[in-house]
Amino acid sequence: MIREVKVTRNYQITIPLEIREKLGIKVGDKVLVVCEGDEIRIIPKKKSIKELKGTIKKDIGITSTKIDEVIRSSVEEVSKAVEGEYKR
């Protein structure tokens, strides 16, 4: 998906609605801005565990095994992304 946006005099841009919705970006969220050669990538920053504190109900069956699986999966995902960055 490609959308054209205008840079304001304060060097700001607006992320188009359909892209914000697709990526789940909300007001107050943080994004990473990455410069790759002559391109800019904007990547939604995932919330930290500390920021998520209190958002999960205690009785929904989350186990330490499930948490470990999610962490392992996330580490693998980040490793693949970083690996891809260095191959360019």
Q: What are the tens digits of pLDDT across the range 63-76? A: 888 888 888 888 88
End-to-end Cα separation, the chain, in angstroms: 22
What is the pLDDT at residue 36? 86
Question: Is residue 21 pLDDT above 70, yes or no?
Answer: yes
Q: What is the mean pLDDT of residues 7-24?
A: 95
* pLDDT (0 to 100) of residue 80: 80
32 and 45 in contact (C-beta within 8 Å)? yes
Evaluate if residue 88 carries a pLDDT over 60.
no
Q: How far apart are alpha carbons 65 and 71 in whole angstroms?
A: 10
Class of residue 43 by CB neighbours under 10 A (exposed 0-12, middle 13-18, buried 19+): exposed
